[in-house]
A = this chain, B = another copy of it.
Amino acid sequence: MTLLVVGSVAYDDVTTQSGRRMSAPGGSAFYFSISSSYFTNTSLIGVVGTDYSDDDRSILLKSGVNIDGLVTEKGKTFRWKGVYDDTNFNSRETIDTQLNVLTKFNPKLNQIHKKSDFVFLANIDPKLQKNVLSQLDVRPKLIALDTMDFWIDDYKEELEAVIENVDVLFMDENEIKSFTQTNNVITAAKTVRKLGPKIIVVKKGGNGVIMFNQGDIFTVPAFPIENVVDPTGAGDCFAGGFMGYVAGCNDLSPTTFRNAIITASVMGSFAVEGFSTEKFYGITNNDIDDRFRGLSSITSFETLQNNETLPRRTSS
């Protein structure tokens, strides 16, 4: 099965309580494909500037990512600079954003891309996301989309126009509440489902995730991490784990989507343990499998059988 991701490739300048990385490779499509390529063959479509280094290209190649669709444009690579709050990783300040060559990004799908079985529209301009869908030769088995507050706040119509064509929508808790103008996640998911997507995945960072898959609700806590180094890209690695698992299984059953959420959580938990995708350079497929088992062992309990009850008070 082939998985196609379209999104940003970037250089990030990130400061957290653990330190700082300048010109660290990042971007939504970069993070996603490093993660998804553990599980399935992944092709990336994106744009970089002439400053994009061979070392960073080879991170993708070594991970097995097909970068035939990574175009180099004259100019500099998209750059983002941010600082995370020392006490609350959910809070970060963007110091600087330089779109650079991203303003020229005009995704072009080749003949192989156009027949992709699974497509992930990573966080970029919704107009580009829609443009990608229009180039596909056949309807993929599954199309998923991620976005961010910037598009939700100021490009809602354009975003809705692409959301109605996707099967899976990823949003974080604050984003979906703001998108639907409600303070309850269940209500928000119902509202979004009316737009089209069958599956809504609400990411809550360190507080886990809740998935609404038509009638099936599934929720799991985050894998507890004691040393969170840098949360940048964790949501993209999460989505990469999800789509990589589904494409790797080539199955769309509720059970597969539940396991995809676990795989996603595992990949997100590794992502935060290092700057950029550094943590992934030191782990193997076995480490990923082990953490999948670990998340099972810290969350599992025996349900009550049909004829079984909780203890009851004896006095009246």
Interface residues of A (CB under 8 A from B): 37-42, 64, 66, 86-88, 183-187, 204, 207-208, 210, 217-221, 224-228, 244-245, 248-249, 255, 258-259, 261-263, 285-286, 288-289, 292-293, 296-304, 309-316
Chain B residues contacting A303 (CB-CB under 8 Å) are 292-293, 296-297, 300
For A210, A263, A298, A311, the residue with the greatest tally of chain B CB atoms inside 10 Å of its CB is A311
Instruction: Decide if B219 touches A311 in the complex (CB within 8 Å).
Output: no
Contact of A245 among B219, B227, B311, B314 (CB under 8 A): B311
**Residue in contact with A263 in the complex, picked from B64, B225, B310, CB distance below 8 Å:** B310
In-complex Cβ contact of A310 among B183, B219, B248, B314 (8 A): B248
| Chain A to chain B contacts (Cβ below 8 Å), 24 pairs | A38-B310, A40-B311, A40-B313, A41-B313, A64-B315, A86-B183, A87-B183, A184-B227, A207-B207, A208-B221, A217-B224, A217-B298, A219-B224, A220-B299, A244-B311, A245-B310, A248-B311, A258-B301, A259-B302, A285-B310, A286-B309, A289-B304, A289-B310, A293-B303
Rounded to whole angstroms, the CA-CA distance of A261 and B299 in the bound complex is: 11
Residues from chain B with Cβ under 8 Å of A210 in the complex:
221, 224
Q: Which residues on B sit within 8 Å (CB–CB) of A304?
A: 289, 292-293, 296
Task: Report the nearest B residue to A257, measured CB to CB.
Answer: B301
Nearest-neighbour CB distance to chain B for A65, whole angstroms, equals 9
Q: Once the chains are docked, how many angstroms separate the CA of A211 from the CA of B299?
A: 10
Do B301 and A259 touch (CB < 8 A)?
yes
Docked CA distance A37–B264 (Å): 40
Q: With A183-B88, A220-B299, A285-B309 as known contacts, state yes or no: A316 contacts B64, CB within 8 Å.
A: yes
**Residues in B whose Cβ lies below 8 Å from that of A37:** 313
Residues on B with C-beta less than 8 A from A224 are 185-186, 210, 217, 219
Could you tell me the distance in whole angstroms from the C-beta of A90 to the nearest C-beta in chain B?
11
Task: Determine the distance from Cα of A261 to Cα of B225 in the docked complex, in whole angstroms.
Answer: 21
- Determine whether the beta carbon of B219 is less than 8 Å from that of A298: yes
Nearest Cβ in chain B — how far from A106, in angstroms? 27
Closest residue on chain B to residue A204 by CB atoms: B207
Residues of B within 8 Å of A297, CB to CB, are 303
Contact B301 A296 (CB under 8 A): yes
State in angstroms the CA–CA spacing of A219 and B66 once bound together.
38
Cα–Cα distance between A39 and B315 once the two chains are bound (Å)? 10
Q: From residue A221, how far is it (CB to closest CB) to chain B in Å?
A: 4
A147 CB → nearest B CB, Å: 21
By beta carbon, the residue of chain B nearest A247 is B311
Provide the residues of chain B in CB contact with A226, threshold 8 Å: 184, 186-187
